[in-house]
Structure formats: C-alpha cells, structure tokens
Amino acid sequence: MTRKTLSVRLDDGAEAARPVRASAERLARLKEHAKVLRREPTEAEALLWGKLEGARLGGIKFSRKAVVGTGIVDFACPSRWLVVSLTQPGSNPEIDALQDRKLAETGIRVLRFTADEVTGELDRVVKEIAATANTPFERPGRPQGRGRQG
C-alpha cells in the first residue's frame, strides 16, 4: 500500500494559485466529519457563528465547518476568498501554521483567532473580520485588468 501525501508547489515567482483537491473518498469523509463538528460547536464557535450566520456581517455569507481543499475550516467566505480559523486550547501551533500556509499559498486569506479572543473580545474580532472581508483583493488565477465590463 502506498501512501499519498499532499504537496502544494508553486513555480518561482508565480502569482496564480493552484487549487488543492482531495480525492473523492477523502472528500466524502471530510464532509461527514464536518457535519459532526457542526452539531457540537465550541463556545467560541457558537458565539462567532451568531454574528456571522445569515449574512449578518454586511450581507457577506459565511459557512461554518466548511471543507476547503483537503481540510475543514471553522468559517469560510468563498465570495471573498476568506477563511476564519479558531485556535482551541491545546491545539498544535505547527499544524495550525501549516494549514494556514497551505490555504494562503492557494490565494485564500486566513484570519486566525484564539478561542479566548472570541469569547472575551467578540466585537473586536467581528470588526477585524468585516474589515478584512471588505478589503479589496486579487482573486487567484484571474489575470490583472480583466474583469467584468459593462
């Protein structure tokens, strides 16, 4: 049995992002695990979801426990290429950094907060998410200067 590993490799100086995809089998397992995680949110996840659900953040739609690439993120906003991750007590900072780096390499903007920040400073966290979501960004894979013309 051979073990496949994921590696994201960008050519030197390449601006365009390359999507990272999971196999169909892994994707099905991730989706099932995301369902389980949505049923049992942490206190911080529940508090933040109360501010993000139903496009409450200026009409911007977020999903919770979304499958992105080869992993599950706490909150995702596909239209803004934005992921919000919460660091839980006892989590491995190296794994968190690796996940953030893999997402950033594919052009996804990542915001990471601790669970304590969310429970203690919810308004500040929501303001930071809103500011990032409303900051202009270059969509990965889209040539510069080419947009909708009307």
Nearest CA-CA partner of 105 in 143, 62, 66, 140: 140
Show the DSSP H helices in the chain as ranges.
Answer: 24-39, 43-52, 93-105, 115-120, 122-133
Report d(CA 31, CA 78) in Å as an integer.
16
| Predicted local distance difference test score (pLDDT) of residue 142 | 56
Nearest CA-CA partner of 16 in 144, 147, 141, 145: 141
Is residue 60 one of the residues assigned to a domain? Answer: yes
Question: How many domains, in total, are found in the chain?
Answer: 1
| Predicted local distance difference test score (pLDDT) of residue 121 | 96
Q: What range does the domain containing 108 cover?
A: 24-133
Is residue 2 one of the residues assigned to a domain? Answer: no
Is residue 147 one of the residues assigned to a domain? Answer: no
> In CATH, what number is assigned to the domain containing residue 54?
3.40.960.10
Is residue 125 one of the residues assigned to a domain? Answer: yes
Per-residue pLDDT of the chain (150 residues; tens, 9 = 90+): 443 333 333 344 444 445 556 788 888 999 999 999 999 999 999 999 999 998 888 899 999 999 988 889 999 999 999 999 999 888 899 999 999 999 998 899 999 999 999 999 999 999 999 999 999 888 766 555 554 443
Is residue 32 one of the residues assigned to a domain? Answer: yes
Is residue 62 one of the residues assigned to a domain? Answer: yes
| Predicted local distance difference test score (pLDDT) of residue 55 | 84
**Other residues' Cβ atoms within 10 Å of the Cβ of residue 22:** 17
| Predicted local distance difference test score (pLDDT) of residue 20 | 58
| Predicted local distance difference test score (pLDDT) of residue 19 | 53
| Predicted local distance difference test score (pLDDT) of residue 116 | 95
Residues whose CB falls within 8 Å of the CB of residue 99, separated by 6 or more in sequence, listed in order: 71, 85
Is residue 146 one of the residues assigned to a domain? Answer: no
pLDDT digits (tens, 9 = 90+) for 56-78: 888 999 999 999 888 899 999 99
The predicted model scores a pTM of: 0.76
Is residue 82 one of the residues assigned to a domain? Answer: yes
| Predicted local distance difference test score (pLDDT) of residue 150 | 39
Report d(CA 52, CA 49) in Å as an integer.
5
Contact status, residue 102 vs residue 72, Cβ threshold 8 Å: no
